[in-house]
Amino acid sequence: MAHRPGRVTLGYIGVLAGALVAAIIAGWTPLANRIDGSAYDWMFQLQPPAPWEPSSVILAIDEDTLAHSGGMRRLRTELAAGLRRVSTANPKAVAIDLILSDEADAGEDDALEAAFRATPNLVLGSDLIPDSSRWEEPLPRFRKYAAAVGHVHADPDPICRALVLYKVAGHDRRWAISLEAFRLAEGAQQIIESPDSLQVGRVSIPVRRADAALQIRYSAPQAGARSGIPEVSLLRLNQDAALAKRFRNKAVFVGATALSQARDRLMTPYQVTMSGVEIHAQAYETMAHGVFFEPASNVALIGFCVAIAAGAGIVFYYFTGYPAYALGVLLLALAHTVPHIAFARGVVFPYLAPVLAAWLSVVGAAAWMYFVVRRQLRKSESDKARYQQAIHFVTHEMRSPLTAIQGSSELMGRYSLNDEKRKQMANMINSESKRLARMIQTFLDIERLTDGQSDIRLEVFESQPVLEACLQRAQPLAERKQIELRTEEISSFSLTGDRELLEYAVYNLLTNAIKYSPAETVVVIRCIGQGQTLRLSVSDQGIGMDDKELRNIFKKFYRTKKAETSGEVGTGIGLSIVDQIITHHHGHIEVTSTPGKGSCFTIVLPRGAASEQASASKTFSN
């Protein structure tokens, strides 16, 4: 486990939060609904329920029955005969999925009425007329023998996954015939409603009052019965009385299964179509066997999405490379499998939102970390290269006094020199070694400053001698380029601070002005007082800088393009050190510059004792 360098940035958290919000919003769209529906069907096919002993039988008005009775209208006699046989078997309930609202041949209706009278727990069907304003009722003569009248609707959406347990026309509400049949079979007087369930006898059916949708747990299709529920043809029952025993203790669902008649053939999650009567029988089975599905709560769904996104964030924060990717894949697998696991436990979990949350957050976190790490790597590599360059330069600088010392001492040892020459050489060795010591001291001081140790030496000194020393040291450089170092308005002020460091700062500005100016130009130095401050400025007629460059010159190792191509040796650390030195002296630097025209660097320092002055700042303009 490798801890990431750096901290969790707001950007990283933002990416994860964005992924999460996008996934949750997407999960509420109609397209997501369709995808979730398809995933539901797929899980249905992958995880069919264990077979159970059916509690219902379908008395089917099939093609043969219709052919024999010559159509639906003359069916009532056949139906009456069939029902009489069914009632001898003592069924638990008989639900008729037919709308018997029209009068037929009187003899036929008489026969059917008589059969209904003999049928226990009879449930008749009623239909909402298309504008939902009222019910199309069974004839009163039939209705009076019905223990209940229910609705026969089964709605596709476009696949019939659920049955709406009640429908309303005006103030007249009807339960589904399957629910009424179940109530009667349970021997319950009424159905007790609560916001999340319906209580029928001892059975609690988990449906929300808001939509009253019962997810149907279709039994797996079996050989011989498309729906897994046994079917007896009405015609065959009438031909063979022995078939009646099949209805013993079962709920009987009577309706059209003939392809030509069943106007409401609906697609089911198993990708087979069923008629309305079969769907009601399936809903009955779901209730009778208590194999309910419950929709997952929104809290559980959002909680899971949040956990997945947080997981992705943690994985890519604490792990790198293959372990991170492997854990990312694991998270994706989890998001894909949790809906399956929930399904196996009877909880319907939306599929798209968690899967999308997982993909977006894993990809987002991985991409973020990849680019951030790459950027950090690039930055540290270029910092390293610049640092090496700086070290190279420093050692190179130190070599010149060393070479002078070496050369002089060698000469002194090898040849017998006259006194004057010897004295000259000894002086040279002395001054060069002092220069070397000063150089080392300065670099050590700089290191100290860079490390953030702010304790600087505090001595009181005059500004003028410092400036003169710098000018003297810079003079040979200026002469080499025939640059005039012109002093104007020089006043002296007393300062408190680290003389060596301030000298380094001024000298640096002077050498920069010389380095970045063409030959035969003028560098003007001023030192004036303004209020309680001293303003020491160095202005040149050199290459100058634009706004963007000005904003960067105080950064360590930064050099402008023009400086790089000028042929002047440099490291880009000088100004960053000058800035730190001045800051430590409670001052600031002002820079004005125009590309091609020249620059002016002004050191602004508090005069007198270096007391607790306002903290440093820089201002730029050009």
CA distance 620 to 605: 17
Q: How far is the CB of 524 from ligand ADP (least distance, A)?
A: 12
The smaller minimum CB distance to ligand ADP, of residues 401 and 572, is found at: 572
For every residue of 143-181, DSSP letters joined together read HTT-SEEEE-----SSS--EEESEEEETTEEEEBHHHHH
Q: How far is the CB of 457 from ligand ADP (least distance, A)?
A: 23
The smaller minimum CB distance to ligand ADP, of residues 16 and 573, is found at: 573
Exactly one of 191, 474, 534, 575 binds ligand ADP (CB under 6 A); which one?
Answer: 575
The smaller minimum CB distance to ligand ADP, of residues 43 and 506, is found at: 506
DSSP code for 220: P
The smaller minimum CB distance to ligand ADP, of residues 325 and 558, is found at: 558
The smaller minimum CB distance to ligand ADP, of residues 15 and 524, is found at: 524
Q: How far is the CB of 504 from ligand ADP (least distance, A)?
A: 11
Give the CA distances from residue 440 to residues 437, 459, 504, in Å, rounded to whole numbers and listed in that order.
5, 20, 12
Q: How far is the CB of 490 from ligand ADP (least distance, A)?
A: 20
Question: 370-408 as b/e, with b when 16 or more CB fall inside 10 Å?
Answer: eebeeeeeeeeeeeeebeebbeeebeeeeeebeebbeeb
The two tokens of residue 451 are 């490390």
The answer to whether 571 contacts ligand ADP (rule: CB under 6 A) is yes
Q: Quick one: which segment of 77-85, 121-129, 476-484, 505-513 binds ligand ADP (CB under 6 A)?
A: 505-513
The answer to whether 560 contacts ligand ADP (rule: CB under 6 A) is yes
The answer to whether 574 contacts ligand ADP (rule: CB under 6 A) is yes
For every residue of 398-446, DSSP letters joined together read HHHHHHHHHHHHHHHHHS---HHHHHHHHHHHHHHHHHHHHHHHHHHHH
Residue 553's φ and ψ, nearest 5 degrees, are -65, -20
The smaller minimum CB distance to ligand ADP, of residues 234 and 478, is found at: 478
Single out the residue of 147, 139, 97, 143 nearest to residue 122, CA to CA. Answer: 147
For every residue of 36-103, DSSP letters joined together read HHHHHHHHHHHSPPPP---SEEEEEE-HHHHHHHTSSTTHHHHHHHHHHHHHHT--SEEEE-S---S-
The answer to whether 570 contacts ligand ADP (rule: CB under 6 A) is yes
Q: How far is the CB of 577 from ligand ADP (least distance, A)?
A: 8
The smaller minimum CB distance to ligand ADP, of residues 154 and 502, is found at: 502
DSSP-based three-state secondary structure for 229: coil
The answer to whether 311 contacts ligand ADP (rule: CB under 6 A) is no
CA distance 220 to 282: 10
Q: Quick one: which segment of 218-226, 346-354, 377-385, 506-514 binds ligand ADP (CB under 6 A)?
A: 506-514
Neighbours of 321 (CB within 10 A): 8
The smaller minimum CB distance to ligand ADP, of residues 307 and 398, is found at: 398
The answer to whether 537 contacts ligand ADP (rule: CB under 6 A) is no
619 strand-pairing partners:
590
The two tokens of residue 27 are 């999960």
Q: Quick one: which segment of 54-62, 439-447, 483-491, 512-520 binds ligand ADP (CB under 6 A)?
A: 512-520
The answer to whether 339 contacts ligand ADP (rule: CB under 6 A) is no
CA distance 228 to 286: 12
The answer to whether 563 contacts ligand ADP (rule: CB under 6 A) is yes
The answer to whether 449 contacts ligand ADP (rule: CB under 6 A) is no
CA distance 125 to 150: 5
For the chain, report the end-to-end CA distance as a whole number of angstroms.
51
The answer to whether 545 contacts ligand ADP (rule: CB under 6 A) is yes
The answer to whether 543 contacts ligand ADP (rule: CB under 6 A) is yes
The smaller minimum CB distance to ligand ADP, of residues 193 and 564, is found at: 564
Q: Quick one: which segment of 23-31, 148-156, 173-181, 510-518 binds ligand ADP (CB under 6 A)?
A: 510-518
Strands 122-128 and 148-151: parallel
The answer to whether 463 contacts ligand ADP (rule: CB under 6 A) is no
The smaller minimum CB distance to ligand ADP, of residues 262 and 509, is found at: 509
Number of residues forming the site for ligand ADP (CB under 6 A) = 22
The answer to whether 599 contacts ligand ADP (rule: CB under 6 A) is yes
CA distance 286 to 391: 81
Contact 95, 251 (CB under 8 A): yes
The answer to whether 605 contacts ligand ADP (rule: CB under 6 A) is no
Q: How far is the CB of 459 from ligand ADP (least distance, A)?
A: 26
The smaller minimum CB distance to ligand ADP, of residues 43 and 589, is found at: 589
Strands across the sheet containing 191-194: 191-194, 197-200, 203-205
Exactly one of 159, 301, 553, 605 binds ligand ADP (CB under 6 A); which one?
Answer: 553
Residue type present at position 376: Q
Exactly one of 65, 227, 408, 512 binds ligand ADP (CB under 6 A); which one?
Answer: 512
Which residues ranging from 247 to 286 are in contact with ligand ADP (CB under 6 A)? none
Q: How far is the CB of 377 from ligand ADP (least distance, A)?
A: 25
Residue type present at position 384: K
Exactly one of 358, 516, 588, 589 binds ligand ADP (CB under 6 A); which one?
Answer: 516
DSSP-based three-state secondary structure for 586: coil
CA distance 291 to 618: 75
The smaller minimum CB distance to ligand ADP, of residues 268 and 599, is found at: 599
Q: How far is the CB of 469 from ligand ADP (least distance, A)?
A: 19
The smaller minimum CB distance to ligand ADP, of residues 127 and 549, is found at: 549
The smaller minimum CB distance to ligand ADP, of residues 186 and 397, is found at: 397
* Residue matched to tokens 């308005």: 489
Exactly one of 76, 174, 280, 559 binds ligand ADP (CB under 6 A); which one?
Answer: 559
Which residues ranging from 89 to 148 are in contact with ligand ADP (CB under 6 A)? none
Q: How far is the CB of 555 from ligand ADP (least distance, A)?
A: 9
127 strand-pairing partners:
136
For every residue of 472-541, DSSP letters joined together read HHHHHHHHHTT-EEEEEEE---EEEE-HHHHHHHHHHHHHHHHHTS-TT-EEEEEEEEETTEEEEEEE--
The answer to whether 542 contacts ligand ADP (rule: CB under 6 A) is yes
The answer to whether 573 contacts ligand ADP (rule: CB under 6 A) is yes
Q: Which residues bind ligand ADP (CB under 6 A)?
A: 508, 512-513, 516, 540, 542-545, 553, 558-560, 563, 570-576, 599
